[in-house]
Structure 1
Amino acid sequence: MANRLGSETSPYLLQHADNPVHWWPWTDDAFEEARRRDVPVLLSVGYSSCHWCHVMAHESFADEGTAAYLNAHFVAVKVDREERPDVDAVYMEAVQAATGQGGWPMTVFLTPAGEPFYFGTYFPPAPRAGMPGFRQVLEGVHGAWEERRGEVDAVAARVAGELAGRTIAYAEGTEPHRPGEAELADALLGLTRDFDAVRGGFGGAPKFPPSMVLEFLLRHYARTGAEGALQMVQATCEAMARGGIYDQLGGGFARYAVDAEWVVPHFEKMLYDNALLCRVYAHLWRATGSGLARRVALEIADFLVRELRTGQGGFASALDADSDDGTGRHREGAYYVWTPGELRAVLGEEDAELAMRYYGVTPQGTFEEGASVLQLPDVGEGPVDAGRIASVRERLLAAREGRPRPGRDDKVVAAWNGLAIAALAETGAYFGRPDLVNAAAAAGDLLVAVHTEHRGGQLRLARTSRDGTASSSTGVLEDYASCAEGFHSLYAVTGDTAWLDLAGLLLDTVLDRFTAPDGTLFDTADDAERLIRRPQDPTDGATPSGWTSAAGALLTHAAYTGGARYREAAERALGVVGALGARAPRFIGWGLAVAEAALDGPREVAVVGPEGDPGTAELHRTALLAAAPGAAVALGAPGAPEPALLAGRGLLDGRPAAYVCRHFTCTAPTADPESLAAQLRQ
């Protein structure tokens, strides 16, 4: 027997390849081994940048005595939740149902048939703060398996049966409907009640960036002019950008703040958060012209390219929260925090005092051991010498580069790269940064070259790759939908119809493989590995759910192509948003944003003109900068036969022209950018 993780591609699994635990990856062979030995399976699920996963690994999985007991009485299976979101979703649902909470590392004990019967998250090595020690848990589960097997089997069968019965289906004989004015107004009211008017964001600690809710609010403002919606976005975006959750030196957001004031982050930086937030700040700038929003959008974009771009042109999943603090000890936040003494050593006394005031560094510290997380508090002391501050920032950033860096999970996740492609393509187009558009296109090229294959007449996706080689993990619904979203953005910005065609192929697979006859959606394809439940969740979590992402991508594709199949599927998928939007708007923000686009049309904008013509470029930029919810922008030469939105569109008196349409019914064309902007504001 040996640890079997050494040949895996997942950085998280490779972190455990040297454990004395005889880990298996998630395979049929692991469960067959458990059947052969008649022992339970320990399923441990986490991800590479998870702080408490590292803690449990160091405390328990690296301990020879604990590993020996575990190897003797269990088959241990390690899963990267980012590589296998289907496995994570099924068993996390069981953990949350049994314990009322969830998180990572997730620790679940299963029968050899994969049925769960004991649940938890992090367990300390010895009893602490009301939690049993991990060795106690192992001994208790082993004792129950040996002495009360009938009870264990009964619990496992009941839990598996309950999970299998949780399929979402629309009521028979009813036609699901997308949310209308009333439902979206109710969702706005619900968000207003949860809004933190003092500190921005929604709810209390811990506080997560509400990216998808902010997109809904921006679209609602664009459609209705509701100032309250915009004010919630502005307050939240400013509070986050000034808080410790934002890296004031290098750009990019941490995953969440442990407090309600955005001061102390959980320091891991995720690709998906930064892609979503880059887009939010770019869209806030588009709506208001905010200088802060412009700065943050560009800083995030530069962070993505500088810190997360892989050698193959894709984007890595995450940066770790922990790093060496310079003494050989791994500590959360060590790379990012500063003491007054460290500031003085880099800046000298006078500039260190300025930095302490400007960045909110205190003698007692805002984090641990007298260190502070850099913020931008509003000190109210009049104008700041911008040149001096820029010098301070550059010197601190250069000094930080000399510290041991956090680890990087260089696994490329298809869905998250789709989100990054959309963010970089749009940000590059808005701010005249073709390098960002090129980075988005390069990531798209990688997805096509490495993650896609034609199988059975359909375009299929691999979920992850590393070093240019796809893993065996199959794409889930969010991969198909978010990649289609990114490809739509690339088409809108570049006019290259290859991206639009690829989005259509992915969405055809969604309709054929992920969609039930009643229009509900599943997270896995109908030919994917069978688990104890086929996962299906329409609610948005850290990223848009596969369900709401698919609704948005289908709606956009229908706007480009006129395909009734795509429009009807989008409308049916939005039925769940009508059911959940008023009751739980914080957990279906992207669904609400898509519903705003559907209610607005979405607008379809065809820009027709010769390539390289300044008039064409000006109309195209005007169309891209329109805040109309979910507008679909097509660019092409006169007489272009596709997509349908461009078909039959010609020049206006020999000049480049723009056509604004809804459901392919268009207003009179215009060659004037100001007239086009006015049409799109109506």
Structure 2
Amino acid sequence: MDSMTALTNQLGSETSPYLLQHSQQPVAWQTWGQQALDRARIEDKPILLSIGYSACHWCHMMSADTFSNHTIAETLNDGFICIKVDREERPDLDDIYQTAHQLLTGQPGGWPLTVFLCPQTQLPFIAGTYFPAEESHGRVGLKDVLAKVSYFYRQQHVEFRSLREKVRQGYEKLEVLASEKDTLLNPAPIDVALHHLLRLADDVHGGFGGAPKFPMPVNLNYLQRSYEQAADPATGRHLLLSLMKMAQGGVHDHVGGGFYRYATDVHWEIPHFEKMLCDNALLMANYAEAWSISGEPLFKRTAADIFKFVQRAFANGKQGLYSSVDADSEGCEGGYYLWRFEDIEALLNDGELTLLTCLLGQTDKHNFGEYLHLHFDKTLVETAAECGLSYDQALAQFLTLREKLLQVRLQRPQPHIDNKVLCGWNALWVRALAIAARVFNDQEYLTHAQQGMDFIRQHLWRKRRLMATWQQGSAKHTGYLDDYAYTMDALLELLQVQWRDEDYQFLINLAESLSNNFYDQQQGGFFFTAHDHEPLIHRSKPLVDSVLPSGNGVAARALLRLGHLAAEPRYLAMAEATLGYAWMGISSIPENHVSLLLALQEFFDAPVQVFLLGDDVLAWRQLIQDQFGSRVHCYAVPSNAEFYPPEIMSMDMGQAVMCVQDRCLPPYQNVAELMQAIADQVKPAEG
């Protein structure tokens, strides 16, 4: 390699929207790869690793204020090798260096993530997030950081080695903590986690903790499952309160549908305006399932609004869905979504304006600077009574005024959309659609769910391996644990709505690929990257939930369900070993491991399975769903099926078989007898 040749910005040939956003900057950005890493090692230059994503507001700020600064760029190009990474394309790198940020600073990271690496080892020694070019509002400027890093690296070798070693030891400690486990599993952490979550609950505004406030759909799913198991009033009350307050709040887009990433306040009033496919997928499932136990019309309407938003904003015409909508438009955070109240007054008639004003309640008409962001203080039921309208009249009027606002908003300059199709996030969406199709008995949701799964199978399944992303007609990056776990989870939900041989076969193939490429045969659990992935400084097995569910938690539960469905003890054994590997974390801080706890719950109390064979008994599935919900997994296998579980082989057409744990009861040919047998095993759904 000719180390004398000056590096130039290499991002122009990339497809990632985030990388392309930095392709015209004076910084000589490189992509992560052996060429850039070798250059850093040979020239003995520290690596500046910058990780972000295209919808991130503070990534835009650092791009405009810092990386477009020619003085900063000159310093970077002279003394550093600068590598830019899209965290949605490379979640493996993001996971490793977010952990490093925590180890070095004692604080959680975020985006943009800014890390300085040793060129010889790729171990980090300085980490931060957003840096302005110059010191501003108490934030140290990158100009000063670069001078200190250069001096630190060149002169203070003892301290440099000490920090580098601190990170190395931190990674090693994480592995030791996870492996020092008591493999004697017990269900105690399940209730402990629920107790801790309810202790963190905001009993007034819903959700958990203070500002900034994330919806945390993983925690809400845990409340849902816990309530279904025990019907505890406090659990159900907080679940429904949280979903109600979020649906009314400004974290929900009342004009275009869908949810923003998080709220900046405890009231859910003012959001951070980016929208992500993954968040909306998880929340759509939350709202659909909560409707099944409450019948609350707002929940059904909110699920439908999410669906319409995703199809309008993210659909690419090939059934795969884009990943995110930017927080900014025309250089202003949230500008696309904000209103001047006088413009609303000019747009609506008197009745519509009265209804909207009642919905807003005490909300200031200028709650975002001189603008208004819609945040409803009352429900539509309460507003209808206040305005002297029936609920149907109020709903019709609301839908009309919303459509007026939407048509005006659609004429504004659109926020940037990241057009990457991410396998795992698309699988989360398929799962949400399948749940909504089952709960609402809705064919449109089912059609879109099956189309989404067909896209994953046809475009992201290559040589019996999943790919992580798809863009401009081609798949890139070998898939990660989450891609497999989320896709398996989606298939298990989809098969309960309509059995397709290709879905069951795909599910088995994914389980085998997951086992062969990710499973740790020595200690149990699944690595985030495959066994043949490029070697990195740390190979993690993620156990803790974030806004997204833990890949190990989802994989363990999916394998438990599939193990019972396919009568395959290997899958059950892998799930049990994964729980054993994670036991120290589960038992120490259970509320941080709720996806694993959902698997633990099913390990001790597997849902009842019902198999229906033949076209004449397919209609029984809806009866079972309506009465028992998710406490029963029902698979209705049509007469023309050719690929099915072994339980089916001993059945005759027009029969039903119920299985409890690993024991299957004699067949039923009468629906009333079947329903009574199920009721003897599980409690009916609360309605």
Scaled by the length of structure 1, the TM-score of the pair is: 0.92
1:160 aligns with 2:168: yes
Match of residue 661 from structure 2: 662
Q: Matched residues in 1 for 2:176 and 2:14: separation? A: 34
5+ residue gaps, structure 2: 1-6
> Partners in 2 of 1:95 and 1:659 — Cα distance?
50
Amino acid in the other structure paired with 2:605: D
SS in 2 for 1:203: coil
For residues 104 and 279 of structure 1, what CA distance do their matches in structure 2 show? 27
What is the rounded CA distance, in whole Å, between the counterparts of 1:334 and 1:45 in structure 2? Answer: 25
Q: Which residue of 470, 489, 496 maps to 1:485? A: 489
Per-residue CA deviation, residues 564-611 of structure 1 (Å, 9 max, x unaligned), is 01112112222366544565344222222233333331221111222x
Q: What corresponds to 1:327 in structure 2? A: none
- AA aligned to 2:338 is V
Q: How does 1:48-59 map to 2 (within 5 A)?
A: 48-59=54-65
Residue 309 (structure 1) aligned with residue 331 (structure 2): no
Partner residue, 1:441: 450
Distance in 1 between residues matched to 2:665 and 2:337, nearest whole Å:
53
The match for 1:114 among 114, 122, 132 is 122
RMSD: 2.4
Distance 1:584 1:259 in 2: 26
Aligned residue in 1 for 2:239: 233
Instruction: Output aligned runs, 1:546-557, within 5 Å.
Output: 546-557=551-562
Give the corresponding residue for 1:347: 348
Query: Are residues 1:566 and 2:571 paired?
Result: yes
What is aligned with 2:35? Answer: 29
Contact 2:104/2:166, CA 8 A, preserved across alignment? no
The range that moved more, 355-364 or 445-454, is 355-364
| Whole-angstrom distance in 2 between the partners of 1:572 and 1:94 | 27
- 1:473-506 deviations in Å (ceiling 9; x for gaps): 2211111111111122222222002112212221
Question: Is structure 2 residue 596 aligned with structure 1 residue 591?
Answer: yes
- Give distance in 2, aligned partners of 1:173 and 1:590: 18
Moved more, 228-237 or 671-680: 671-680
Decide whether the 8 Å contact of 2:606 with 2:661 is kept in 1. yes
Distance 2:545 2:627 in 1: 26
| Matched-pair contact (CA < 8 Å) for 1:219–1:628 | no
Give the AA of the match of 1:45: I
Give the AA of the match of 2:315: R
Identify which of 457, 470, 475 aligns with 1:470. 475
**Aligned counterpart in structure 1 of residue 434 of structure 2, from 425, 434, 437:** 425
- The secondary structure found in structure 1 opposite 2:465 is strand
Instruction: Assess, with a 3 A threshold, how the Cα gap between structure 1 residues 8 and 671 changes in structure 2: closer, same or farther.
Output: farther
Residue 557 of structure 1 deviates from its aligned partner by: 0.8
Determine which of 505, 522, 526 is the counterpart of 2:527: 522
CA separation of 1:141/1:410 partners in 2, compared to 1, >3 Å: closer, same or farther?
same
Q: For 1:301 and 1:176, how far apart are their aligned partners in 2?
A: 43
Which residue matches 1:540? 545
Give the structure with the higher percent helix.
Answer: 2
Alpha-carbon distance, 1:361 to partner: 8.1
% identical aligned pairs: 34
SS of structure 1 residue aligned to 2:111: coil
Report Cα offsets for 1:398-436 as digits up to 9, x if no partner. 111111111111111111111111111221233243222
Question: Contact (CA 8 Å) 2:651, 2:667: kept in 1 or not?
Answer: no
Give the match for residue 110 of structure 2. 103
Are the structure 2 counterparts of residues 46 and 24 from structure 1 closer, same or farther at C-alpha, using a change threshold of 3 Å?
A: same
> Is the contact made by 2:355 and 2:387 (CA closer than 8 Å) also made in structure 1?
no
Which residue number corresponds to residue 644 of structure 1? 646
Distance across 2 between alignment mates of 1:410 and 1:295: 27
Corresponding position: 1:509 with 2:513: yes
Larger mean Cα displacement after TM superposition, 672-681 or 74-83: 672-681
**2:48 alignment partner in structure 1:** 42
The residue type equivalent to 1:106 in the other structure is L
User: Are residue 413 (structure 1) and residue 422 (structure 2) matched?
Assistant: yes
Contact persistence 1:639–1:647 (CA under 8 A): no
1:69 aligns with 2:75: yes
Report the alpha carbon displacement of residue 242 of structure 1 after superposing the two structures with TM.
0.7
Which amino acid is 1:352 matched to? L
Change in Cα spacing, 1:134 to 1:377, as seen in structure 2 (3 Å) is farther
Deviations 1:167-191 (A, max 9, x none): 15765795352x42x3322222112
Post-superposition CA distance 1:151-178 (Å, at most 9, x none): 324432442343244215765795352x
Could you say what secondary structure the match of 1:343 adopts?
Answer: helix
CA deviations on 1:337-360 (whole Å, 9 max, x unpaired) are: 222112023225664343233245
Matched letter for residue 271 of structure 2 = P
How many angstroms apart in 2 are the aligned matches of 1:18 and 1:627? 57
Task: Give the partner amino acid of 1:135.
Answer: K
Higher mean alpha-carbon deviation, 596-605 vs 227-236, is at: 596-605
C-alpha separation in 2, matches of 1:30 and 1:373: 47
Q: Which residue of structure 1 aligns with residue 405 of structure 2? A: 396
C-alpha distance in 1 between matches for 2:97 and 2:433: 34
- CA 1:293 to 1:600, structure 2 compared with 1: closer, same or farther past 3 Å? farther
Equivalent runs, 1:137-152 vs 2, <5 Å = 137-152=145-160
Report the counterpart of residue 321 of structure 1 in structure 2.
Answer: 327
* 1:82 to partner: Cα distance: 1.0
Letter of the 2:493 partner, please give it. S
Q: 1:223, 1:600 within 8 Å by CA — same for their partners in 2?
A: no
Structure 2 counterpart of 1:357: 358
Please give the secondary structure, in 1, of the residue aligned with 2:308: helix
CA contact (8 A) 1:521 1:573 kept: yes
Within 1, Cα distance between the matches of 2:46 and 2:332?
34
Q: Deviations over 1:614-633 (max 9, x none)?
A: xx342122344465656433
Contact 2:262 2:271 in 1 (8 A): yes
CA contact (8 A) 2:340 2:371 kept: yes
Q: Secondary structure at the match of 1:6?
A: helix
Note the C-alpha offset of 1:41: 0.5
Write out the 4+ residue segments of structure 1 that deviate beyond 6 Å after TM superposition. Answer: none
Contact between 1:169 and 1:520, CA under 8 Å: does it hold in 2? Answer: no
Would you say 1:299 and 2:313 are equivalent positions? no
**3-state secondary structure, aligned to 2:509:** helix
Name the stretch that deviates more: 281-290 or 363-372.
363-372
Whole-Å Cα distance in 2 between the matches of residues 210 and 667 of structure 1? 42
Greater shift, 382-391 or 401-410, is seen at: 382-391
TM-score between the two structures when normalised by the length of structure 2 = 0.91
Code of the residue aligned with 1:416 in structure 2: it is: W
Write the distance in 1 (CA, Å) between the matches of 2:352 and 2:304. 26
Question: Are 1:129 and 2:133 an aligned pair?
Answer: no
Stretches of structure 1 that go unaligned for 5 or more consecutive residues are 325-329
